Structure 1
C-alpha cells in the first residue's frame, strides 16, 4: 500500500539542520541585533507566566513573614505589658516611700527643743475597741520608754504612754474619754483642762466660767503643769464656744491638731533633765525605719 504522504528527512538530517539554523540565528542575533524587537515582545508575553510561576513562592514568603511579625509583636506586647506592670509597681512603691520620707522629715522637723531627748517610733497596732483610743508602739523599756511619757506627731501632742513592755508600749490618746491634759490658750495664757470625748476629732475644756476669754480659733498648747507634758506644744484648736447661762460653765469644744486617726510615726519625748540621746542614735533609728519600708 502506498502511503498518503511521503516520509520526511531522516532524524540525523533534522538534527543537523536544526544545529545549522541555531548557529545562523545566533550569528544574526549577535552581529546584527535582528531579534531585539522580537525579544521584547517575547518577554512581554512570557512575563505573566513568570509572575504566575513565582506567585506560590511569594505567597509562602509573605505568610512566613506575617506569622513571624505577628509572633514578634505578641512577644513584644507581652514583654511591654510585663515591663509596664513592674514599672507601675515600682512607681507605687516609690510614691509610698516618698510620702513616708516626707512624714519622717516633718516629724524630725517638728518644733522640739534642741536640748530635749527624743526617739522616733512606729505604730504597730490600733486598739480595736471603739470606746478606747489606744495605740501600740514598737519601742519599750529596752529603749528607755516609761509610763507617763509624752508622745507627739509632726503636728502636736498625741497622748501619753500608759503601759510599757520590753519591746513595745501602749499609748493613750488625748481623744480617749479617760484622758485629760492641762492646756493654756496661746493668745492670752488662760489655763484649763482638755478632756477626751471618745471622738477622734473633738476634745472639751472643762470647768470654764462663762466670762473666760476664749474664742473660736484660739490655739491650745500644753501648759506644762503636772510635769507630764512639756510646756508649749500644740494640743488643739477651739472649734465651738457655747455660753449658756442656765449651765454652770461654758461648753467649749476643740479639734486636736494631731492627726489622731491616721498616725504612723510618732516621737517619744523625755524630760529636759533626762540623759540626752546622742544624735547618732537618733539617725540610726531613722535609718532602721527607712530600711524597714524597702521590701
Structure 2
C-alpha cells in the first residue's frame, strides 16, 4: 500500500496545536512552578556545553595575559621597581607618623588632673649655647601662653615658659644652671629644691641635711610650693647620695625623668585660674568701691 499521498493535519492546525501547548506550559510553569526542578536538570545538562563553548575565549584571554614579549617584561619590571621604591618611602613616612602619634598619645594620656587645661606644643629650635638649656616652641600669647607656665613631656617636668611671643615662646629647661624647682621625695614627703647643673642628665639637691631620709632610686615629684608647678608631677630620680660628715650638707644628685635630649613635643599646663579659655575676673575700681561704701 502506497502512503505517499496520505493526507494529515494541515500546517495551520499543527501551528495552532504547538501554540496551545506552549501557552499551557507557560501557564502551569508561572502559576504552579511545576517545571522548576525540570529547569534545574536541564541547566545542569547544558552547563558542560556552555563551558565548552566558552573555552576558546578563555584560551585567547590566557594567551594574551601570559604570552608577552621580553621588552614588555623589562618595562613591567622597571615599573615594579619604581613602585616598590615609592611604597618604601611611604612606609618610612608612616613609621615616622606612627612614632609621632604614639608620642602625642602618651602626652594626652599623661597623668594630668582634670581641672588643668593642657595643650601640645612642638619644639622649633634648640639654643646652641651649651651653657644655656632653652628651647623655642610654636605656641605663644595668641594661644594663651604666659610666663612661668609649667611645661612637661610624656614622662615628667621639662621646665617653664621664660619669654612669650605672639606665636612662639622660649622654655627654660630644669637642667639650666639658673633654674630650680621645689620637689619632695615621693616615698616620705621630704622637701628639697632641685637645681640645674648645666648637664642634661643631672640635677643637684642643695642644702640637704645629713639626717634627711633620702635613698638612691627615690622619685622626686613637684611639691606645689612656689605656685609654678602643680603638685605631684615627676621631676627626677635620685642617683647619688653622699653623706660626708666633713661637709655641712649631704651631696644628692638626681637624673631628670623627662628625656631632655630627645624632646620633640611638649605639654603646656594651665591651672584652672590661669586657663586661657576662662573669662577674666571683673575688677571693681576703688572710686566705685568708695562710693558704694559711702552709700551704705
Corresponding residue for residue 58 of structure 2:
none
Q: Which runs of 5 or more residues in structure 2 are unaligned?
A: 1-67, 279-296
TM-score normalised according to structure 1 size: 0.70
- Superimposed CA distance per residue, residues 56-109 of structure 1 (whole angstroms, 9 cap, x where no aligned partner): xxxxxxxxxxxx743223212211110110010010011111111100000000
Q: CA deviation at 1:130?
A: 1.0
SS of residue in 2 equivalent to 1:268 = strand
Kept in 1, the 8 Å contact 2:148–2:160? The answer is: yes
TM-score normalised according to structure 2 size: 0.69
Q: Which structure has the bigger radius of gyration? A: 1
Corresponding residue for residue 168 of structure 2:
168
Corresponding residue for residue 210 of structure 1:
210
Partner Cα separation in structure 1 for residue 266 and residue 96 of structure 2: 18
Q: CA deviation at 1:276?
A: 6.7
Partner Cα separation in structure 2 for residue 203 and residue 92 of structure 1: 37
Q: Which runs of 5 or more residues in structure 1 are unaligned?
A: 1-67, 279-295
Q: CA deviation at 1:277?
A: 4.4
Partner Cα separation in structure 2 for residue 277 and residue 117 of structure 1: 9
Kept in 1, the 8 Å contact 2:235–2:258? The answer is: yes
| Residues 1-295 of structure 1 mapped to structure 2, 5 A cutoff | 69-275=69-275, 277=277
Kept in 2, the 8 Å contact 1:116–1:276? The answer is: no
Partner Cα separation in structure 2 for residue 215 and residue 166 of structure 1: 44
Kept in 2, the 8 Å contact 1:118–1:277? The answer is: no
SS of residue in 1 equivalent to 2:266 = strand
Aligned-pair Cα RMSD in Å: 1.3
Kept in 2, the 8 Å contact 1:115–1:276? The answer is: no
How many residues get paired? Answer: 211
SS of residue in 1 equivalent to 2:198 = strand
Kept in 2, the 8 Å contact 1:222–1:234? The answer is: yes
Kept in 1, the 8 Å contact 2:115–2:271? The answer is: no
What stretches of structure 1 move > 3 A for 4+ residues in a row?
Answer: 275-278
